[in-house]
């Protein structure tokens, strides 16, 4: 009996596909693969991988059906993760648990032999899942700085005059470019990495060549994106800021992506030329050699009734059923005042409000925010920024200023936790940053507030979000940041003193705008 052609097999596999389709929809991953600019290639990659497996279906049939009990452990772990994601409403947890169920299916049906054959497709699908909010800004900030420096090099190579501070490219004549997240390389990086991964997977070549094709997508993306930034800067210098937005900006992005793809193909072609013999490009990248197996007897194991498969199917069914009672679980509304009503005076400190540039507002993604300078009677200044996020489950979340401060040209010299005590006696710990830019010095205090808890480490806040969402049915949070410049002739201790003074005043009213 051929295990892949029986009626029972077709029914079981069909049910699995329906369950996975529902989980992709419920987790929001399907919508991301359709609409998101960075991950909109997801469905195309899934279709290519499905075609690869279809072309090699005969070879897959001859693999020994050896359901593994390790699949049971993976099934239970994926189910627990999925239930946590459903209870908390945190979409990335559900997305990664869906991938965990795919891994469980492989082990439950075919054990380690099938896992070895499908490892690369599983890893390719893994990189189609959006990075968690903790990791995304970390990667983005690094790519921003690299892109900025290389973009400036391009501008200067073509005779442009430019000044760089972090991610701000100053072209003079009030023309400034902010290398925002959309230009940080992620828009090209993940689609190109997926293409490179598939190309390396299909390649009939030594392992090092296949890895070279995949890893080359990273420098190609960074350098081509930097070239784009440089060209945009030159166009801005010559024709104005209209070249940084709208259709032209979008068109320039697609041109660079296609150019990056051509460079990747040329690199792969050069590697093919290094192979012995006269292999053609088409024969090296083949769909039909991936699952070549040693001759074996027809497989007669009825894997459909094995305990690992049954337990996997039960876990999958529980996950699908669990989406129904939790689907309508909205966040508990919390009363808070809008930032527009934030006091213009805190103790002796008087405020002058302002707004952030639109590009910065968009990148931050806050639901509401306050930004202003507070001045003391002796004209000493402290900048206050409060970014409030109503729902961190899907989309934006507060992140550590240490990721974006370098983008403004500042160098962080130290990051130390210190205590702050409110008038009611409650003490919280905040991060104290000592920063320099040229001959300037500044000090920043910041913390993340999630309900009545505060955090200085972003990853701890994200982990606590699971508890916060499940036990209190809330997902709101805020970033609070105060900055004081160390004036000429002023001591660091004096700047610290005014930061602590304003922070003490702020703690008295903060919970009105960022609820406990």
Q: Kindly state the DSSP code that residue 192 receives in the 8-state scheme.
A: H
Q: Kindly state the DSSP code that residue 331 receives in the 8-state scheme.
A: P
Average pLDDT over residues 310-315: 90
The candidate with the shortest Cα–Cα distance to 46, out of 107, 117, 99, 83, is 99
- Of 275, 293, 326, the last residue of a domain is 326
Average pLDDT over residues 147-160: 72
**Environment class of residue 51 by beta-carbon count within 10 Å: exposed (0-12), middle (13-18) or buried (19+)?**
exposed
- Of 261, 292, 326, the last residue of a domain is 326
Same domain, 476 and 353: yes
For residue 198, what are the domain limits?
135-283
Rounded distance between C-alpha atoms, residue 167 and residue 408, angstroms: 6
Question: 46-60, 145-159, 430-444 — which one is most confidently predicted on average?
Answer: 430-444
Confidence of residue 184 (pLDDT cuts 50, 70, 90): very low
Q: Pick the residue with more confidence: 66 or 492?
A: 492
The answer to whether residue 296 sits within a structural domain is no
The answer to whether residue 331 sits within a structural domain is no
Question: 10-14, 212-216, 295-299, 436-440 — which one is most confidently predicted on average?
Answer: 212-216
Helix (H) or strand (E) segment spanning residue 21: helix 7-27
Rounded distance between C-alpha atoms, residue 115 and residue 168, angstroms: 47
Three-class SS state of 182: helix
The answer to whether residue 292 sits within a structural domain is no
Same domain, 380 and 469: yes
The answer to whether residue 297 sits within a structural domain is no
Q: Kindly state the DSSP code that residue 333 receives in the 8-state scheme.
A: P
- Of 326, 358, 386, the last residue of a domain is 326
Percent of the chain with pLDDT over 90: 28
Q: Kindly state the DSSP code that residue 435 receives in the 8-state scheme.
A: E
Task: Provide the number of structural domains found in the chain.
Answer: 3
Do 78 and 100 touch, CB atoms closer than 8 A?
yes
Whether the model clears a pTM of 0.85, i.e. scores above it, the answer is no
pLDDT at res. 516: 87
> Is residue 37 over pLDDT 90?
no
Rounded distance between C-alpha atoms, residue 312 and residue 16, angstroms: 10
Can you tell me which residue has the tokens 């239930």? 83
The first and second tokens of residue 224, run together, are 């081509």
Distance of CA 226 to the CA centre of its chain: 20
The candidate with the shortest Cα–Cα distance to 315, out of 102, 123, 466, is 102
Q: Kindly state the DSSP code that residue 159 receives in the 8-state scheme.
A: T
The answer to whether residue 492 sits within a structural domain is yes
Same domain, 24 and 74: yes
Q: Pick the residue with more confidence: 492 or 392?
A: 492
Same domain, 315 and 247: no
Do 20 and 317 touch, CB atoms closer than 8 A?
no
Can you tell me which residue has the tokens 């700085």? 145
């Amino acid at each position: 009996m051929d295990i892949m052609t029986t009626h029972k097999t077709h029914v079981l596999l069909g049910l699995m596909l329906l369950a996975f389709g529902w989980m992709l929809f419920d987790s929001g991953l399907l919508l991301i693969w359709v609409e998101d600019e960075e991950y909109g290639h997801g469905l195309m990659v899934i279709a290519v991988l499905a075609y690869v497996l279809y072309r090699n279906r005969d070879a897959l049939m001859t693999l020994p059906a050896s359901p593994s009990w390790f699949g049971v452990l993976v099934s239970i772990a994926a189910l627990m993760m999925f239930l946590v994601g459903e209870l908390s409403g945190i979409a990335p947890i559900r997305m990664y648990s869906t991938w965990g169920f795919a891994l469980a299916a492989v082990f439950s049906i075919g054990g380690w032999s099938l896992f070895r054959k499908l490892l690369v497709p599983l890893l390719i699908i893994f990189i189609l899942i959006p990075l968690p909010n903790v990791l995304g800004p970390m990667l983005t900030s690094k790519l921003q700085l690299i892109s900025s420096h290389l973009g400036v090099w391009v501008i200067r190579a073509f005779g442009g005059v430019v000044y760089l501070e972090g991610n701000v490219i100053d072209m003079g004549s009030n023309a400034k470019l902010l290398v925002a997240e959309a230009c940080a390389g992620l828009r090209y990086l993940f689609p190109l990495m997926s293409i490179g991964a598939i190309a390396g997977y299909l390649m009939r070549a030594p392992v090092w060549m296949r890895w070279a094709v995949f890893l080359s997508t990273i420098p190609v993306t960074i350098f081509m994106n930097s070239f784009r930034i440089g060209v945009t800067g030159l166009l801005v210098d010559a024709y104005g800021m209209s070249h940084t937005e709208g259709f032209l900006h979008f068109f320039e992005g697609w041109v660079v992506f296609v150019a990056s793809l051509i460079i990747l193909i040329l690199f792969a072609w050069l590697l093919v030329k290094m192979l012995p013999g006269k292999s053609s490009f088409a024969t090296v990248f083949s769909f039909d050699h991936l699952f070549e197996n040693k001759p074996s007897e027809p497989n007669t194991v009825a894997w459909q009734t094995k305990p690992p498969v049954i337990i996997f199917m039960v876990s999958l069914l529980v996950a699908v059923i669990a989406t129904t009672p939790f689907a309508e679980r909205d966040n508990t509304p919390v009363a808070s005042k809008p930032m527009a009503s934030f006091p213009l005076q805190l103790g002796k400190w008087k405020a002058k409000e302002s707004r952030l540039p639109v590009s910065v507002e968009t990148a931050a993604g806050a639901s509401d925010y306050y930004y202003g300078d507070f001045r003391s009677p002796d004209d000493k200044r402290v900048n206050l920024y409060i970014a409030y996020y109503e729902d961190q489950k899907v989309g934006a979340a507060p992140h550590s200023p240490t990721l974006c401060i370098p983008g403004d040209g500042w160098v962080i010299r130290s990051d130390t936790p210190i205590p702050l005590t409110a008038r009611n006696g409650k003490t919280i710990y905040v991060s104290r940053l000592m920063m320099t830019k040229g001959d300037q010095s500044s000090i920043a205090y910041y913390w993340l507030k999630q309900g009545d808890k505060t955090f200085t480490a972003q990853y701890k806040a994200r982990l606590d979000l699971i508890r916060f969402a499940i036990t209190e049915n809330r997902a709101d949070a805020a970033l609070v940041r105060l900055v004081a410049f160390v004036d000429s002739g002023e001591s660091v201790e004096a700047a610290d003193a005014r930061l602590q003074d304003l922070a003490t005043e702020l703690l008295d009213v903060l919970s009105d705008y960022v609820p406990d």
